[in-house]
A = this chain, B = another copy of it.
């Protein structure tokens, strides 16, 4: 069976994702689609709108065949390790081709950029270090360093665009692990990555859709045009059972409590807490009314919103340096299966005996530092809902088997 791999967050699954999924299937001519998806916390340091289980259902109902989880230790990292973790898992699942979205839809400049930077790696890294030292944020430093080095703008990609950065790291990771996986890209359509506005042709960004959901409360009709029917149904089910969608506001008191009662020394044990950030956070937290105003008071040009938001996630989940830093040099250690269609199950049966990572489908007694962190972050995420919903999510996480979607 020919297999297509996707790296996704689906927060929530929308028409832009559907377009990408369908185009990618057509382009690759694959028999099965495998998605590696972030769990309950996302790369920008946010809790997911709805649980990974609901997002898995959305994916399966829209045409993905197999959904596995990108462990927390990779899902909440900077682009390079996020991509590395995702590609390693897709590779372990014998994926033939990964297809990502990009501004241009042309894979050649990605390959050439990777070539170029691999050749000029030392100089590139030195430039980045210099810029970071002078107070520039890491993402800006990488794109500035790249611009400075590169004299061939027509053949390289713009590394200031988040999607291009991810694509670059997918291609780079494939080479790094010496995988035979092919990389390809499809032009993104509609709204920009973080654009809160509503796009043309029934496409809106996930950020825009989440904004509409929080603005309209229980009325989901505002997003009808921008998501497939399956997403709408799943969101409605979620809302009916759990009472609300999740964002940082639901965790602000917990974050505040943690920051107030932790000593600076304890905070310095948290991953991403560097250079006195613990004092900055403690200084602003007592007076902050809500998460947004807290973030606004803490962030600077150097410490971007995403950087601080990720740190807040790690403080919330108590993700320590000693575990998280392993994800900077080591690959994922297991594959957590979230859901599958019959096609996905069939595919999995075929490759099962050749898997070089343990496949975790029921939790039982599986022990692993990355996995402990997944549990810890899931247990934290669950606290964002009322007690009854907590019980459902707890059961789903620790007692149920992966979701199986029966195809019509």
Measuring CB to CB, which residues of chain A are less than 8 angstroms from any residue of chain B?
253-254, 256-258, 260-263, 266, 286-287, 289-290, 316-318, 376, 379-380, 383, 387, 391, 394
Contact = CB atoms under 8 A, between A and B. Distances in A.
A282 to B, nearest CB: 10
Nearest to A257: B254
Given A253-B254, A286-B394, A394-B286, A261 B379 contact: yes
Interface SS of chain A? helix
Contact of A318 (B261, B317, B318, B379): B261
Contact of A261 (B290, B376, B394): B376
Given A258-B258, A262-B318, 7 more contacts: A254-B257, A257-B257, A260-B379, A261-B318, A261-B379, A266-B318, A290-B387
7 contacts: A253-B383, A257-B257, A257-B383, A261-B316, A261-B376, A287-B391, A289-B387
Contacts of A376: 260-261
A261 B380 contact: yes
B394 A260 contact: no
Contact of A380 (B257, B289, B383): B257
A266 B265 CA distance: 13
Nearest first, the 10 A-B pairs at minimum CB distance are A261-B318, A260-B379, A254-B257, A289-B387, A257-B383, A261-B376, A261-B380, A261-B317, A286-B394, A253-B383
Contacts of A257: 254, 257-258, 380, 383
Nearest to A269: B266
A61 to B, nearest CB: 30
Nearest to A376: B261
Contacts of A256: 383
A391 B293 CA distance: 15
Contacts of A258: 257-258
Contacts of A260: 376, 379-380, 383
Contacts of A261: 316-318, 376, 379-380
Contacts of A266: 318
A82 to B, nearest CB: 22
A61 B194 CA distance: 58
